Structure 1
Amino acid sequence: MELGIIGLGSIGGNLAKQATEKDIDVVGCDTADRPELKDKGVTVLDSGEYEELANRLDAPRVIYLSLPAGELIDEQLDELVKHLDEGDVVMDGGNSFWRDSMRREERVWEDGIYYLDTGTSGGPPGARDGACFMVGGREEGFEIAEPILDELSVDGGLLHVGPPGSGHFVKLVHNGVEFGMLQSIAEGVELLEAGDFDVDLEDVFNNWSNGSVIRSWLVELMRDQIGEDNYEDVPNYIEDTGEVNWLVQEAFKGETPIPVISQSVTELFKSRGNQEHAYQAIAAMRHGFGTHPFGEDDDILKERVTGRVDNVSRSHLEKDKERKEAVRPKDRMDLDD
């Protein structure tokens, strides 16, 4: 078997390593030299050397694109198909918008080239040891690529979802579910940190990773990250590529309620400090209708903490920006005063 890979970064490069170990000949194109892949037996060509790439692969060629979503896919596809023949297969393994994938499939099918929108999950570790593929496209094209994808996927991790666009649509929904799960786990961390008990987070997440209802790779990753020495230095700013925004927009257009996924996207926005005036406006209005104070107020703090007689309300967690230590309201005041 032979596989062409365009883009030999963290995903494409790890797929190339896995493929060569499974006796799949890999020819790749990349902007970098990638000596570590050459040592593994991967033939690495310069970016854009698509004629040479095509010459080194037997027909029907199977080529996997591991490139960022957007216009770059269209640009590279335009150049690539000039050197391909009828019956060849191009797979887009990135997080492309599924409607873009449908458009691209129509375009290359005019030349008899199969285009498979190949949603790929598992991150770099999955690409290295066994990925999860959600594939949309014509059945005949999938059958050509299937033996290679079967070798590169984890057991049960290969699915031909349906017609063009369906693979990237399912992957996008997958990413939305991922966002919701991440937010839920993060809120669990917040609750544990703000609670009345001094629990060891790493021990808790290790416990949850063994037999609990919520055991999962994400819970295991949280456990492992907490154990890292630099965990406390992780910044609060969260960056993302924005594809789940497309899912939320499509849901609104179709009036499909997805409150958890929508809120998880909003929480990412909040981490970036994009709202410079909203909380100022709320404070001003609260002062207007109830003469509520501006900024911190010890009397209001005391009422918030002691207002419920049985005192079981959740401790609100604040952060000392310099020390990054939990500062609970009850730690800021003497309840005996």
Structure 2
Amino acid sequence: MRRINIKTISLFIIIILVISSLLVIATKRQDQSMEQISQETEEPTEQTQEKQQVQPVLSIKADQVRHLTLENGEKTIELVPDSPYSEEEVRTNLSGWYIHQPYQNVYSVKYNPLVDMLYGIAELKWNKIIGEKENLDKYGLEQPDMKLTFQTEEGEETLLIGDQAGEGKRYAKLTDGEQIGTIAEDVLEPYQLQAFELVEKFVKIIAIDVLEQLQINYGDQEILIEIDHPIEQEDQESPLFFIDDQAVEEDTFRNLYKDIAGLSVDDTVEDATYHSPEATMVYTIFNQEQKEKQEIKVELVSYDKQNFAVFLNGKADFLLKKDVFEQMLKKILQA
């Protein structure tokens, strides 16, 4: 009878141990399931926060922009891929865009800054959403430091940039939206350039393949540059170049023309008064399809002892160093 009790007790203990092990395993599995459920519940929240942080500010894409206006509180810069010039006159414009404000004349826009601005649109993202219907003045958005307007054929979006938000961020808001947020300040750098940093600074650059002649007058000096293009002459394979009726080798002329075309302005001017120019540069370009000639005149009016005011179409926006112009003339005469 005693032996039976011992066996029974042993069996009972074994059963208890098995049940305990099963309970432990079940508890662990339940904990793992709860943890997995918790992770699955948290992941969408984290993803939602992440999506909110990288939410683009603008719905406009780079290739849709047809008009770009930058306002920094003092001046308005207006950039448009349209110009009043003929195709021959602007053949050297790489960007295809032109600056219409703040200058009196229309000038070509540099390629790299323009690309940075257009493709920088994708970098304009909300870093943090503050809320809606907030006091704009609290964030410097009532009178913003910057106002960026991107216009397409369908509409436009305007971004207001306000005060510093700390940690390299700026407060921002779309004019057509109630949402106020922050964006990284470094992505705004392409839009903080001044007009003079965007404009091509060449006095006048005309492609050789459309230039027929260039006449330069400076005091008693008169220089005539001519290019004879092989348009209809079957026996002429390449253009011929002349300076004051003297033939010039093609390589020599092309190197020289880099100095002529590369003649660049040095500063802006707003108070230049037109009077009899000290120097003129008259370009004659030829439209092969229309068989028409066009003259473009650059007039250099003395502004002070060091500078000419560069007049195009009777208006001056830039200054050219007199000594830079004289150095170019010397190179032409040496050729």
From the CA coordinates, give the structure whose radius of gyration is larger.
Answer: 2
* TM norm. shorter chain > 0.5: no
Q: Tell which has more relative contact order, 1 or 2 (C-alpha 8 A, sep 6+).
A: 2
Task: Looking at secondary structure, tell me which structure has more strand per residue.
Answer: 2
Report the TM-score when normalising by structure 1: 0.23
